[in-house]
């Protein structure tokens, strides 16, 4: 049985008649870095806000399970969030910002807070105020803030937005450290797919408030990898023929059959189909980048 730290059940948020989140059901396993993919306005932030307790769902529910099997409400203090820009007091230092949250949670150990600053590489900021920080530093402080309550689940909304390449690399390093060394499960959203693909181990693709697909990194990359795309006048018969030829890595999507193995046997497939009086409308070797796959799924267009 899967060890899920977070499951949502048809989570919906309506603003008037507009559904920002439409019956979204995601499943986040413990230890995952779960990447939420979606363009701006797809509903990623709304979903995260609901899970983070900032927004009341219109309908549906979610369940966060702790290590000891504790559920939702009791587990909320074990969720760390960084939604959009980090919420910092600009006239306070990094330590003072952390201390403010720590006081609210009854944490008195300043060395623990110092450790958090070290973890995100801000241990030497001293009396520098948050308003003087670079965007990357602010984001890292935002993560430290989210870590104050020793979360089991960390929710990060677009944490790499606006960062320079070095900032992105540092953020990636921090995320790997938190997941691998501290065992924190991370739910992260981004519309920079290439970057997300470097950290996430599982994905949920959201479009117009709906969850279109949920897949592991391997599954998703398999779908993006090279394949034979086949269109015929009879899908059922075609599948029978392909089975008889020993093809097993097959996926049917609408009127297209995707074959992920023996990609050089296109000719044999066409002949075998012709023998069974099946007309081949189209057969082509295709491969996608994650971005292409995303656009294909959402019906959008890449800028290329």
- Which residues of this protein are in contact with another protein, per CB under 8 A? 49, 52-56, 73, 76-77, 79, 81, 83-92, 96, 99-101, 103-106, 145-146, 148-149
Structure tokens at 171: 């953020």
Look at the block and give the residue holding tokens 């910002």: 97
Classify residue 142 by burial, with Cβ atoms within 10 Å: 0-12, 13-18, 19+.
buried
- Least distance (Å) from another protein to the CB of residue 111? 18
- Least distance (Å) from another protein to the CB of residue 52? 5
Structure tokens at 262: 């023996």
What residues are paired with 92 via a beta bridge? Answer: none
**Is 213:205 a contact under the CB 8 Å cutoff?**
yes
For 26, 46, 200, the CA distances from 32, given in Å and listed in that order, are 13, 21, 8
- E strand or H helix that includes residue 50: helix 44-51
**Whole-angstrom Cα distance, residue 304 to residue 256?**
24
- Least distance (Å) from another protein to the CB of residue 104? 4
Structure tokens at 185: 């499960």
- Least distance (Å) from another protein to the CB of residue 96? 6
Name which of 95 and 178 has its Cβ closer to another protein: 95
- Least distance (Å) from another protein to the CB of residue 1? 28
- Least distance (Å) from another protein to the CB of residue 54? 4
Nearest to 67 by CA among 175, 201, 216, 185: 185
**Is 177:144 a contact under the CB 8 Å cutoff?**
no
Name which of 43 and 214 has its Cβ closer to another protein: 43
DSSP SS3 for 230: strand
Name which of 116 and 242 has its Cβ closer to another protein: 116
**Is 57:11 a contact under the CB 8 Å cutoff?**
yes
Name which of 88 and 257 has its Cβ closer to another protein: 88
For 5, 108, 144, the CA distances from 11, given in Å and listed in that order, are 16, 37, 28
Name which of 56 and 275 has its Cβ closer to another protein: 56
- Least distance (Å) from another protein to the CB of residue 3? 23
**Whole-angstrom Cα distance, residue 214 to residue 290?**
14
Name which of 131 and 198 has its Cβ closer to another protein: 131
Name which of 44 and 223 has its Cβ closer to another protein: 44
């Amino acid at each position: 049985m899967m060890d899920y730290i977070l499951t949502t059940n048809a989570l919906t948020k309506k603003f008037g008649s507009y559904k920002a989140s439409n019956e979204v059901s995601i499943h986040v396993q413990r230890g995952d870095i779960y990447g939420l993919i979606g363009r701006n306005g797809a509903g990623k932030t709304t979903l995260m806000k609901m899970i983070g307790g900032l927004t009341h769902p219109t309908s549906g529910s979610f369940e966060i399970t702790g290590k000891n099997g504790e559920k939702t409400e009791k587990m909320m203090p074990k969720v760390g969030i960084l939604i959009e820009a980090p919420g910092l007091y600009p006239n306070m230092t990094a330590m003072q910002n952390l201390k403010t949250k720590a006081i609210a949670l009854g944490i008195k150990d300043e060395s623990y807070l110092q450790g958090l600053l070290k973890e995100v590489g801000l241990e030497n900021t001293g009396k520098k105020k948050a308003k003087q920080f670079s965007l990357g530093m602010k984001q890292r402080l935002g993560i430290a803030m989210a870590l104050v309550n020793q979360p089991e689940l960390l929710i990060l909304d677009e944490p790499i937005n606006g960062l320079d390449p070095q900032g992105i690399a540092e953020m990636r390093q921090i995320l790997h450290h938190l997941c691998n060394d501290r065992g924190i499960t991370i739910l992260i959203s981004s519309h920079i797919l290439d970057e997300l693909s470097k950290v996430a181990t599982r994905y949920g693709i959201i479009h117009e408030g709906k969850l279109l697909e949920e897949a592991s990194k391997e599954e998703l990359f398999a779908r993006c990898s090279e394949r034979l795309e086949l269109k015929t006048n009879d899908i059922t018969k075609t599948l029978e023929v392909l089975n008889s030829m020993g093809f097993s890595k097959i996926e049917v999507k609408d009127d297209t059959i995707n074959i992920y193995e023996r990609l050089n046997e296109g000719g044999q497939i066409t002949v075998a189909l012709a023998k069974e009086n099946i007309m081949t409308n189209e057969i082509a070797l295709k491969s996608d980048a994650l971005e292409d796959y995303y656009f294909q799924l959402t019906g959008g267009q890449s800028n290329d």
